[in-house]
């Protein structure tokens, strides 16, 4: 993936993405979107912007349990159903270069993780931070509600660790996070991942590469028609 596809470009096609870092479909959807951008002839003219969304906003702050335990308890998902879902996603993820280890995934309140994403955005490392958090959740089995873990991940990407600690301690970026969530509600978004192309075309869920390519081509053609 070239950095230019996610960096500023002259009048870029803008893809707004709503996601949550404990959502395995978001991890897959983001990775497949990247593949589509790589295949898109005008990939260098695409800018991806991330927006906060919480799948479980009521999850107790500071608590952490195994994700499978949470799903079994709160959604009454039988072990066989969980295993089948994990197997399917693991296979899809492997095709996209992802290493899902669901047995290690931890459910937490993700508000502070979103703070770190906004901190990274201010430093131009938004996409890198999103992907690192996904890997931390679904491969490394890290607790993304732990401030030390989040600060370490920020530092790993070259961000100032003290700034990350301060942002977490002071509840920074609250207004930005709430604005993202409010925009999702205005769009009627009830699940993630959710992708909006140039504020016109939407793709919901972790779709195949072709679906993202169709959306990119449609957006490009719409741009061309408007400028003709």
What is each CA distance from 122 to 18, 86, 156, in whole angstroms? 18, 34, 16
pLDDT tens digit sequence for 152-168: 999 999 999 999 999 99
Considering only the C-alpha atoms of the chain, give the largest distance between any 2 of them, rounded to a whole number of Å: 56
Number of domains in the chain: 1
* Residue 7 pLDDT level (bands cut at 50, 70, 90): very low
pLDDT tens digit sequence for 180-211: 999 999 999 999 999 999 999 999 999 999 99
For residue 188, how many other CB atoms are within 10 A of its CB?
A: 8
Residue 115's CATH number: 3.40.30.10
Q: Please give the distance of CA 149 from its chain centroid, rounded to a whole number.
A: 18
Query: Which pLDDT score, from 0 to 100, does residue 11 have?
Result: 83
pLDDT tens digit sequence for 40-50: 999 999 999 99
For residue 69, how many other CB atoms are within 10 A of its CB?
A: 11
pLDDT tens digit sequence for 106-151: 999 999 999 999 999 999 999 999 999 999 999 999 999 999 999 9
* Residue 6 pLDDT level (bands cut at 50, 70, 90): very low
pLDDT tens digit sequence for 21-72: 999 999 999 999 999 999 999 999 999 999 999 999 999 998 999 999 999 9
Query: Which pLDDT score, from 0 to 100, does residue 223 have?
Result: 87
Domain extent at residue 141: 3-227
């Amino acid at each position: 993936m070239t950095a230019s596809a996610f960096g500023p470009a002259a009048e870029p096609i803008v893809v707004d993405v709503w996601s949550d870092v404990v959502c395995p479909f978001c991890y897959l959807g983001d990775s497949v979107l990247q593949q589509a951008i790589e295949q898109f002839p005008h990939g260098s003219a695409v800018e991806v912007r991330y927006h906060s969304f919480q799948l479980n906003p009521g999850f107790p702050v500071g608590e952490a349990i195994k994700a499978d335990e949470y799903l079994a308890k709160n959604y009454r998902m039988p072990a066989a159903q969980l295993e089948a879902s994990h197997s399917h996603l693991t296979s899809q993820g492997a095709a996209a270069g992802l290493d899902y280890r669901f047995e290690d995934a931890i459910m937490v309140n993700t508000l502070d993780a979103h703070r770190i994403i906004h901190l990274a955005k201010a430093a131009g490392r938004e996409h890198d931070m999103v992907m690192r958090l996904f890997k931390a959740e679904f491969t490394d089995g890290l607790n993304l509600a732990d401030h030390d873990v989040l600060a370490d991940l920020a530092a790993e990407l070259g961000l100032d660790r003290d700034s990350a600690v301060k942002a977490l301690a002071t509840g920074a970026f609250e207004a930005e996070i709430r604005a993202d969530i409010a925009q999702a509600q205005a769009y009627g978004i009830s699940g993630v991942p959710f992708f909006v192309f140039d504020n016109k075309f939407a793709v919901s869920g972790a779709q195949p590469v072709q679906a993202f390519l169709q959306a990119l081509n449609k957006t490009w053609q719409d741009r061309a028609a408007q400028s003709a």
